Amino acid sequence: MKEYDALVLGGGPAGLTAALYLARSEVSLALVEKLSPGGQTLMTHMIENYPGFPEGVEGWRLADLFARHLDKYDLARYGDEVSAVETGEGLHKVKVGQEWLAAKTLIVCSGAQYRRLGLPGEKELLGRGVSYCALCDGNFFKGQDIAVIGGGNSALEESLYLAKLVNKIHLIHRRDVFRGQKCIQNKCEINPKIVFHRSSVVKRIAGDKAVEGVLVENLTTKEETRLDVSGVFIFAGTEPQGDFLPKELEKDSAGFLVTDLEMRTNIKGVFAAGDIRSKACRQVATAVGDGATAATAAHAYLETLHA
């Protein structure tokens, strides 16, 4: 079994930053990433609130800059999925693909994924009109009418991106007040292609071989309306990607990892950073901050082992 001082699990902004800091500390290090480096930034068209990019930066470009920065350093890379973690006294084990790796310290940066709503038709029509990624699938709906579900920053920002491609967007949110930032909401409100359906929920996604419409209920009037759309984009928040994590790691009621301010979990030598962590603000900027904090604390922990 290969053994390292530190293993970083996940190659999003938190993981890439943690790996960068640890690589610069010259510890023996491996980074495990399931897909390409960048995590959820790869699914984001434009990031307008990451400092240093006054004109905004495309998600893939920021991911590429992060990855190229890390490429300057010496570390092992594993391009496979983590399926199990076993914590131990002083040494933790991680199953990556078919191989087990061991490390004195782990930084879990496995992020979050878009929440499924469990609507009738959602699972059946996934990839046939139902999507959770505007950047990946938006092009399929050029010139067509679509629905977007959600009222957070993702729903608003992705609606702005989709509005450049499609004919009309029905933006459906279950409350009359939006969770997303006011400045993004304002941009949506003046966009002639975006029609707001406040205090409304989708009850069913209709279609046989592909999406043909959604049944929407107005929660105030109880009126039900069928909207003819060929695509449904769902941005209803995120869920932790941590099925592989052991039950002894403390999680909040939604399954996100609980840490202290140094990103320490309740298990000695195990840290967490980024969207997998229980916290209020999930941004690229906070993921980067978490990654730097976790790596610094992990390095300090390694020093105590060598003392």
Q: From residue 179 to residue 218, what is the string marking binding to ligand NAP with x (rule CB under 6 A)?
A: x---------------------x-----------------
**Active-site choice (71, 136, 183, 208):** 136
3-state class (DSSP) for residue 206: strand
Count of residues of this chain found to bind ligand NAP when the rule CB under 6 A is applied: 22
User: Residue 122 Cβ, how far from ligand NAP at the closest point, in Å?
Assistant: 11
Q: Report the site for ligand NAP in 215-234 (rule: CB under 6 A).
A: none
By CB under 6 A, residue 236 contacts ligand NAP: yes
Q: Report the site for ligand NAP in 135-154 (rule: CB under 6 A).
A: 149-154
Q: Report the site for ligand NAP in 32-61 (rule: CB under 6 A).
A: 49
Q: Choose between 87 and 238: whose C-beta lies nearer to ligand NAP.
A: 238
Q: Choose between 177 and 307: whose C-beta lies nearer to ligand NAP.
A: 177
User: Residue 117 Cβ, how far from ligand NAP at the closest point, in Å?
Assistant: 5
Secondary element (H or E) of residue 205: strand 200-206
Strand duo 46-47 + 200-206: pairing: unpaired
Distances (CA, A) of 165 to 34, 193, 199, 228: 30, 10, 26, 17
Which range, of 160-168, 174-182, 220-228, 292-300, touches ligand NAP by CB under 6 A?
174-182
DSSP state of 61: H
3-state class (DSSP) for residue 105: strand
DSSP state of 116: P
Count Cβ atoms below 10 Å from residue 99 Cβ, excluding itself: 11
When CB distances to ligand NAP are compared, the closest residue is 152
DSSP state of 257: B
CA 204 from centroid of its chain's CA atoms: 26
CB-based contacts of 206: which residues, under 8 Å, 6+ apart? 121, 212, 213, 214, 215, 226
Known catalytic residue at 136: yes
Q: Choose between 46 and 65: whose C-beta lies nearer to ligand NAP.
A: 46
**Active-site choice (64, 71, 80, 133):** 133
Known catalytic residue at 281: no
Known catalytic residue at 252: no
Q: Choose between 25 and 225: whose C-beta lies nearer to ligand NAP.
A: 225
By CB under 6 A, residue 131 contacts ligand NAP: no
State the residue for tokens 């990624």.
133
CB-based contacts of 38: which residues, under 8 Å, 6+ apart? 11, 12, 13, 16, 59, 60, 62, 63, 64, 66, 67
Q: Report the site for ligand NAP in 270-299 (rule: CB under 6 A).
A: 281-283
- Kindly tell me which residue out of 53, 58, 237, 296 binds ligand NAP, with binding defined by CB under 6 A: 237
By CB under 6 A, residue 238 contacts ligand NAP: yes
By CB under 6 A, residue 249 contacts ligand NAP: no
**Which residue(s) pair with 264 in the sheet?**
271
Contact 248/254 with Cβ under 8 angstroms?
no
Gap between the Cα atoms of 24 and 40, Å rounded: 25
Q: Catalytic positions, please?
A: 133, 136-137
- Which residues are near ligand NAP by CB under 6 A? 49, 117, 149-155, 157, 173-175, 179, 201, 235-238, 281-283
